[in-house]
Structure formats: structure tokens, C-alpha cells
Chain A
Amino acid sequence: MALQPASTEIATRTASIIQQMQGLEGPLLPILHGVQEEFGYVPKEALPVIADALNLSRAEVHGVVSFYHDFRKNPAGRHVLKLCQAESCQSMGSDEVADKLKKLLGIDFHETTHDGSVTLEPVYCLGLCACSPAALLDGEPIGRLDDVKIGEIVREVRT
């Protein structure tokens, strides 16, 4: 697993992301996305830097970050698998899909495998209801999950 960057480095890299996005209207969320993209998570050390740049309080930035589950507090695995658990997918058996994947990967939701290869997360509707049950692997949508596709996913993330 990669070492987490030191706090001064986080501050510098965060500052450059802020610089690119500060001019946007409502720049906080784009900046947070940028930070997550840069580090793979939103380091706590980045928040005071963002607060200072946008003239917000630390509290406000923390409030926003903690509201969205998508913003991680810790680095994710190399792959991120999001399984839809919303109504349509549930009716098409997403619970069983989830159970199988948890078993095959050896982790529960919100966990990362020991080798750091994959993080498993529930998500509530990907807008792929017509192809339920659906998932998102590293940002790529996968529909009509069945055992074959589950096997492919596991092979993909394990390599």
C-alpha cells in the first residue's frame, strides 16, 4: 500500500488544485472532487487549506465533506467497486450479488481487501435501473450482473 503523503505535501498539492478551481462558481465541491482524485481520498489535512482559500471555516468544510459518503477519509483500494442497493436492483437480486461478492473478496461494504486491491461500497441508484442489478467498477457501469460477470469482476480486481 502506498504511503500516505506528509501533511506539508498535502497542503501544497491541495493548494494547486484550489488554484485551478477557485474561479468556479461554488468551487468547494469541485475542489473536494479534485482532492479526492489527486489523493484517492480527502485527507483531513487538506480541509484547513481549502477553508482558508475559500474564506470558509474549518467547520463548514468538514460539514460538507462528512455529509457526502463519496468523499473518503482514507485511501481506497486500487479498484473501487460500487454495488447498487437501491429499489430496482434489490428487486432484481442485488442482495445476493452483494453477498457473493463479499464472500469472494473477503470484505464487507466500506472495507478494503488486505492487499489493497479493491474497496467495496454500496451505492443508492446509478440510474441503470433498466439493467438491474447494476454496479460501477472504477467509474465504468456494468449492468445485468450475473455469476459470469461477478467472476470477471473478481478476476479483474485481483490481477
Chain B
Amino acid sequence: MNVKADIPSLITEIDYGTPASKAERMVTLTVDGRSVTVPEGTSIMRASMEAGIEIPKLCATDMLESFGSCRICLVEIDGRAGTPASCTTPVGEGMVVRTQSERLDAIRKGVMELYVSDHPQGWNEQRGTGASEFDRMVKMVGLTENRYGTEGRNHVMAEAGEGMAPGNGSLTIDYMVRDESNPYFTYDPSQCIVCSRCVRACEEVQGTFALTIQGRGFESRMVASMNEAFLESECVSCGACVQACPTDALREKSILEKGMPERSVVTTCAYCGVGCNFKAEVKGDEVVRMLPYKAGKANHGHSCVKGRFAYGYANHKDRILKPMLREKITDPWREVTWEEALTHAANEFRRIQYQYGRGAIGGITSSRCTDEETYLVQKLVRQGFGNNNVDTCARVCHSPTGYGLNTTLGTSAGTQDFDSVEAADVILVIGANPTDAHPVFASRMKKRLREGAKLIVIDPRRIELVKSPHVEAAYHLPIRPGTNVAILTGLGHVIATEKLYNEDYIRAHCDWDAFQDWLEFVSDPRYSPAEIAQICGIEAEDIRQAARLYATGGNGAIYYGLGVTEHSQGSTAVMALANLAMATGNLGRKGVGVNPLRGQNNVQGSCDMGSFPHEFPGYRHVAIDAVRQIYEDAWGVKLDNEPGLRINNMLDAAIDGSFKGIYIQGEDILQSDPDTKHVAAGLAQMECVVVQDLFLNETARYAHVFLPGSTFLEKDGTFINAERRINMVRKVIEPKAGYADWEATQALARALGLDWNYTHPSQIMDEIAATTPTFAGVSFELLERVGSVQWPCNEKAPLGTPIMHVDGIVRGKGNFVRTEYVATDEKVGPRFPLLLTTGRILSQYNVGAQTRRTDNNVWHAEDRLEIHPHDAEERGIRDGDWVRLSSRSGETTLRAQVTDRVAPGVVYTTFHHPDTQANVVTTDSSDWATNCPEYKVTAVQVSPSNGPSDWQHDYAEMSRMTRRIKGHLEAAE
């Protein structure tokens, strides 16, 4: 393991100074008499560290390419003149290196003395945290004096006397005021040593290029953008610069306020589907910093503003920490014991089943909870409720992915690991906005694009990837919302008619008859570029060029998001993508594949864990007798062989009066599901709604029982990310409400009379492994040992499967499917002439329940409606005006943002804020195969407005009424 413990339980990952070399040839050298063998191209600094000898350094760190500016890491090499920098000098066979000598000592001290002479108040007093790398290096080189004094131009003597923090002192000629504009970190230029680590981290790791060194010589200093405050600059607050800074010039405010952490626990982020590993660093029982874990295989030590900084919601005052009950939803909540809440819920569920039938209740699993928790909820429904009425929020996002990829390739998940993008030559991004929704993966994608990979973006909106510093799409096809299947089939047409397909691959791995059928289908002139260009509102030539590039540009990798799935033809579009990959042979190796970018941390896991009404864990249909037998044996009950109700069926049944009770774990269906009014009407008809969540979410307004949830910091378990990676979630602090979510579900099951006795989530995983072939080899013991694995993980692949379909397509023969384009029912007309599409923004996450309760609001305090200047002018709308957004379903108001990011005829908004309620506007159309709602296309009209609609006022009032808790003062907001 790349880990050593400084203080027991505070994990410090070794910094090797320069990145690992990927060369295969090995070189052996001697460092201070120790022999060490490393790959060719490794720096002396890294080789030395691998031999256990640390060379002092300031400008080097192993997340960044070597730079050679600090002149601290000098060494002596036999037979070479001078003292070369060990970070920029590669190893050579038989080289003899000395890292210590009187000469080196003197040089290093001399250089270090110059650094401290330009550092606030000199060398012998602790600055900032007193625990920076700079402070450590001062000690390491053994500096004992500063002959240059502390009168230098950069010394900031405390104006108000001793004891004042650096950066708050008197003005000297080069003094720059401390920048506190970012809510999470501070920049104190007086402590900057101009090592450029922050600038390089922003460029190499994050790919934003927001920082630079201003000026030259003694005046040079790091600045953001054009010497702007961080908050106003191009900075996206990923924090890579803070992590890279060797002094306290850039430092987390939480560390400066609360002090250095005492212990840390490696865990997995609970935001998006990238699944970054973090060290949660704790002081006392409070998390003071989230530091990305370099050994994390999804993120390799990088993170975004959400994962690194937006964890404050865990301590937010809105969190509910006691179970609550009420008879009617108009009553105020009453705090009760866990026992009373659970007994009440269990009795109600049993009463309802007795009164209305076994199928009158159901459960919803959460894509934010762990695999183990999700597994327990579906088990509770199937074993305890005796029906299959279980569904999950993946219904509203990636259910078409499961269906589409299963039908064509035979697996319900992405084909690659994230590392695969390093080998991609052509990247096709459709219906995804990685820089906002999957930022850490976007950084890796951008890195590959800077190395020369070509990019095709298919998206109605000009997303950041289309053009941002050092990244530019070769082709951007700004299609009309709702025409994905047309454009993808059109690309297939070009590949088919120009014979750009890979016949060898198809003959070897695909069903030839199905291919012939597909070939005939896509070759039809109605899918020619000229026709498709008409449908999609783009240029025919761009379609041809993009298809040629994808088919012939080398390794072609497809990445897609909810812009593909959340359509009436979502499943068809997924199959169209698989068709393209199969036809061009872009499957089964590094750099290719079809990859869904999963929205939530565990949406893959919740699907894998049998959260659908027709499937057991591992995507096995409930009607298959042999599969049912496995669970009947394990659980000791007879299981229903009929699929249960989907979310929207449950709500329909509720309105009809045949569905009366629901257990919802960690999902806010009222806010995240389409047609809000329909969801509200369904919930209102139920007699027992049990909501388990961190906060009184929107759905909880219709709840009778509230069970307080636990954050990812408060439990053990696993999340599965978009690359099928099973990542460990480890308990960092004790559950604030007493129970982790899996314990609460178990307690509910026991109240219902089930004999569940899990004492740790590892036992739940053992049960999953014992009953699910794709998870057969998974155990907490294995995960502890190897960090993480990608399913399938079984006898054939004991350490998991980074890339699928390597030895042939899992299904046996790849199945080409005809993908007939059928225009959505959502058509523009005189009343609703614009198309609304929805998306996300970097700083907020999903319905915003977590991020809205953090300082991330400084970047996105409200949802805005993006509208093209042409459409805005026609309606007399100026930037920032309140506008009314109406559709056939309903209307809401929000403020406009006039921008040419969207094409004329298209408007766009996010759905992070409940008072906007974009889903009041979205309709109930859904994917034909999976019922995944069509969030991405709604015909709308936009008109000037004076402010929030009546509906929004009523809603705000109702929100307040239904959130009262007996004995609590009402919150001021």
C-alpha cells in the first residue's frame, strides 16, 4: 500500500514527487548505496523515494509533471558535473546517485534561506497551520538561520502587533491583500513562493487554466484569471490548487478555523456517479477536510467542488435527527422514539395489506444509499411485503441504459473503466455535460483531448466541452431536443452506406443476420444526412463528417448521459449507440466502448441490487423459476413471479384507491419525478407514507412517518460507480440519528416480524455475493485488500472486470436493433413554440437537498432559464427578468438568462431548487420501454412575469404548514 501513518490513523499518502513512468523497460540504479529498479523514464526523485529516501522538494509533487524551479531537490551523480535537479533528471542504468553531501546541504540551505527571507516573518515562527510542506522542508534541510532578515518587501509585519494572522499585516510595496472570496479556501499571496504548483494543478489536473503567474522577477505572484478575486475568476473551485500548495498561501478555511485533523478514514464520495475516493479527515468528531485519495481508482487524487467542499449539509440545522409521526399530513409532526415510529409503520403496513390486499404497499430504494441498504429495501418488499412493488429513482434516469445495453450487448452497464479514456482517439459525447455533472471524469477527458483526441458533441446546448481553454470539439451538432434517435440512426446511415463498418469485428462478434437487417434499415434514404439534417436542425455535411470521424478516427469512445435516456425514445437511443459501437468494432478494448455517465453516486448499484419490480439483483427476471428458487431458499418464503408496480403505476394505483402505503428510502419523488401535481395527488391518497431522509424533503410533506436518515459519513457499505466499480464506504462518525439507514430498514423488517439479524453490512454483501453470480467474488475482505473491484467479479474474474466484452460480447453475439425514429408527442405549436430541456450545474447536485445546504449556493443561488437572445428579444425579455414558463402540464416562474449557449427555439433550465419546480412543467410522456420520463423535451411558452406564480406562493405556504414540528419554533426562512 502507498500509505504510511505519521500519527496513528491519520493517513498520509507518500508523495513520490513526479508521476509514475509507464515504460516497460526497467532500469537499475544506486541511490545512497541502495539499489533500486524502476521503469525507464522515472525521475531520480521518484526512484529515490521508492528506495525509501526522501529528497527535499518544493515545486514537485507526484500529481504534476516535473518543473524544476525550486532548486531544493539537487543531487550528485557520479561522473556528472554539477548538481542536477532530481525531479527533472531521469534515471539511467547503473547510475550512482548521492542525495546527501556537505555541498548539497549547503546549497539547499542557501536556497531555502532565500525562500524564508521572502516569507512572512522569516523562518523560525510557524505561519498558518504550521504544518505545511514548506514548514517541513525548512526543518528537513536543517535551516538554522536567516541572514537576510525580515525587512524584505514581502514580509508582512503585523500592523496591530504580534499574533496577527499572516496576510492581515501592514502594506509593503508588493503586498497583496488576502483573497477570502471563495467560501472554502483562502489565498494569502504573501505566503506564495511562486512554485507554480497551483497553476500547474489547475492546468494539468483540472484542465481549467484559471491561474497564472503575474509579472516577472520579484513582483511575480500567482493570481486567478486577470488578477481577479477567486470567486469572480474562471476558477471552478475544485480545490486542486489548495491540495497542491506547499505553503499555506492556499489553504482550506476549515483547517485554518478548526485546526489540523487528527485521524482520517478512506471512503467514497456520495455525490455523482464518478465515485471519487476521499480521505475524510476528522478532528474530534467533526469532519474538517475531505482530501481526494490518490489511490482511488476512479479519481486518482482529484475531486470537484462538491466532493471536496460541500459536505457541510451533514451538520446542517435542517437535519432531522429524531423519528417523527403524525396522523394526518395537516397535523404538525410529533417526535417519537424509533420503536414507536417503526411499530406504527409496521402496524399500518399490515393493516393496509389486510384491508386492501397484499399488493397495496410498496417501497422505493435510493440511488444515494449503499448497495447493502438498497438490497435490504428490495428484500423487505419481496420477502416482507410479499410482492414485487419495488422501484428506484433510476427509473427516472438510466433505466433505458439497462434495457438498451442489455438488449444489444447483454449487460446493463457501461463497458469501460474511466482510465480507458486515456486511450480514446475520438470521443463522442451525447446528452451529457461532464464538466458540470461529472467534473472529475471531465478533467480526465479534457486531458486526453489536450493530448490530441478528437471530440464530437451532440447536444442542443453549447456545453463547456464544445469550447473551453485548450479544448474544442471537432464537431458540435446542436440537434433539436428529442431527435437523438434520428441523428444516431443518421450517423449509422453514413457508416453503412459509405461502408465504414468493421466487417471482421461484426462477423466475429455479432449476429450477422441482425447486422444485415440493421444495414438495410439504416441505409434507407429517409435516414440520409439530408433528411436527418432537416429533422435535427443541423448541417448535413456535419453529420457525414462526424460519422466518418467516429468510424475511422481510431479508438472511438461513446459517453452519454441523461440527455439520451430521459426521452420517449430513450431506450432506442441507447440501442442506437450500441449499434454504432458494434458496427465500428469499438468494443472490448481500452479506449472504446459505450459508457453511460451515471448521475448519482450509487445509481448503478441500486439497479444492480434488484430495485426494479421485474428483476432480482443482477438483472434476473422474477419470472425465472431458477432465480426465484435461489431467493426462496435464502429467505424462506414463497416469492411472487409477477413483476410489481413501477413508481408511476404505484401513483396511478394510489389515485385509483388500490395502493395505500409506501416506504421511501432517500428519494424525493415529489421533486425529482415528472409531473409534480400527479405525484402529489397520488401521495395524498395514501394512508401510510414512510419517508426516510436526512431532511424534511418535498415528499415528506405527504408523509405520516419520518425516519431520520444517515449520511455517507455515518455508515459502512459500498457504492457502485458508473464504471461498475464497487467502492468502499466507511463509517467516519457515528450516525447522528442513532441508526445507519440499513439498521433502520432492518428494524422496520423486524417490526414486521422478519427474522433479520445483520450486525454489519459485510454480512449483507456476503448474502448478495452468495445469491448473485456477477457479485460472487465480492466481499468486504476483498475490497479492503484491493481497494475496489469492477463487477463482474467471480471465479472467472476474481479481481473484477475493468473492460467488458473483451473476449466477445457478453450476450454471445452482439444484437443489432432497428432504431426507428418516432418524433415525440411533445411538439411545438402556436401555444407552446419553444422546447424546454433540462440539465445540471457544477456547484449543485440533483434536487439540491445537500448542496443547497452548503456554501455552494454562492455559485448558483437560483435556477435560471437560459433563452437565446433572439427568442428573448421577441418576447421583450431582458437578462435577469422574471419570466413565466408554461407547458401543457403547468407553469412556474423563474428568472431569465439571455445566452447564445442555447439555439433559437430552445430554452434550458436546471432543477436544483424546489421553489422553481421545473417538473411542474415537464409532462408525463415517458420512454416506451422503461417509463423513464421525458424530462429533456417539453414544449413550452415563455413570457414576461412579475414574480413567482400563485402556485409557487401556495406551495411555499403549504411547505411551511406541512413541516411544522411540535415543540420546535418555526424556522425563519
Residues of A within 8 A of B (CB): 44, 47-48, 51, 55-63, 66-67, 69
Contacts and interface: CB of A to CB of B under 8 A. Distances in A.
Given A63-B214, A67-B216, A58 B226 contact: yes
A62 B226 CA distance: 5
A57 B210 contact: yes
A136 to B, nearest CB: 21
Interface string B34-45: 000000000000
Given A62-B223, A62-B225, A56 B470 contact: yes
Contacts of A66: 214-216
Given A62-B225, A62-B226, A62-B227, A57 B469 contact: yes
B213 interface: yes
Contacts of B472: 55
Contacts, number: 54
B214 A60 contact: no
Contacts of B243: none
A55 B214 contact: no
B133 interface: no
B826 to A, nearest CB: 35
Contacts of B471: 55
B216 A59 contact: no
Contacts of B214: 62-63, 66
B469 A60 contact: yes
Nearest to A47: B226
A57 B468 CA distance: 8
Interface in B464-488: 467-472
Nearest to B224: A59
B309 to A, nearest CB: 21
Contacts of B469: 51, 55-57, 60
Nearest to B209: A57
A58 B470 contact: no
Nearest to A68: B216
Interface in B866-880: none
B467 A59 contact: no
Contact of A57 (B215, B216, B225): B225
A67 B212 CA distance: 11
Given A47-B226, A51-B469, A59 B215 contact: no
A47 B216 CA distance: 18
8 contacts: A55-B471, A57-B210, A57-B225, A58-B233, A59-B212, A59-B223, A59-B226, A59-B234
A59 B211 contact: yes
B208 interface: yes
Interface of B: 208-216, 223-227, 233-234, 467-472
Nearest to B202: A59
- Residue of B211, B212, B233 with most chain A CB atoms under a 10 A cut-off: B212
A48 B225 CA distance: 10
A63 B223 CA distance: 9
Given A59-B210, A63-B214, 12 more contacts: A51-B469, A55-B467, A55-B469, A56-B209, A57-B225, A57-B469, A58-B225, A59-B209, A60-B212, A61-B226, A62-B214, A67-B216
A93 B471 CA distance: 52
A44 B226 CA distance: 8
User: 4 shortest A-B CB distances, which residue pairs?
Assistant: A63-B212, A57-B209, A59-B212, A62-B226
Nearest to A61: B226
Contacts of A60: 209, 212, 469
Chain A CB within 10 A, most for which of B209, B213, B226, B468: B226
A51 B208 CA distance: 13
A114 to B, nearest CB: 25
A15 B209 CA distance: 22
Contacts of B223: 59, 62
Contacts of B216: 66-67, 69
Contacts of A51: 469
A66 B214 CA distance: 6
A58 B467 contact: no
Counting chain A CB atoms within 10 Å of each CB, the highest count among B208, B234, B472 belongs to B234
B176 to A, nearest CB: 13
Nearest to B471: A55
Interface centre among A59, A60, A61, A62 (most CB of B within 10 A): A59
A13 to B, nearest CB: 19
Contacts of A62: 212, 214, 223, 225-227
Nearest to A63: B212
A73 B654 CA distance: 69
A62 B225 CA distance: 7
Given A57-B234, A58-B234, A63 B213 contact: yes
A113 B212 CA distance: 33
Nearest to A51: B469
A39 B210 CA distance: 27
Contacts of A67: 213, 215-216
Given A62-B223, A62-B226, A55 B212 contact: no
A69 B212 CA distance: 17
Nearest to A69: B216
Contacts of B224: 59
Contacts of B215: 66-67
Contacts of A44: 226
A57 B216 CA distance: 19
A62 B209 CA distance: 12
A60 B225 CA distance: 7
A20 to B, nearest CB: 21
B234 A55 contact: no
A106 to B, nearest CB: 24
A15 to B, nearest CB: 16
B470 A59 contact: no
A67 B215 CA distance: 4
B481 to A, nearest CB: 27
Contacts of B212: 57, 59-60, 62-63
Nearest to A48: B226
Contacts of B208: 57
Contacts of A58: 225-226, 233-234
Nearest to A56: B469
Contacts of A69: 216
B631 to A, nearest CB: 55
Nearest to A58: B225
A44 B224 CA distance: 15
A55 B210 CA distance: 13
> Which of B209, B215, B233, B234 has most chain A Cβ within 10 Å?
B209
A64 to B, nearest CB: 8
A38 B216 CA distance: 25
Nearest to A52: B467
B372 to A, nearest CB: 44
A51 B470 CA distance: 10
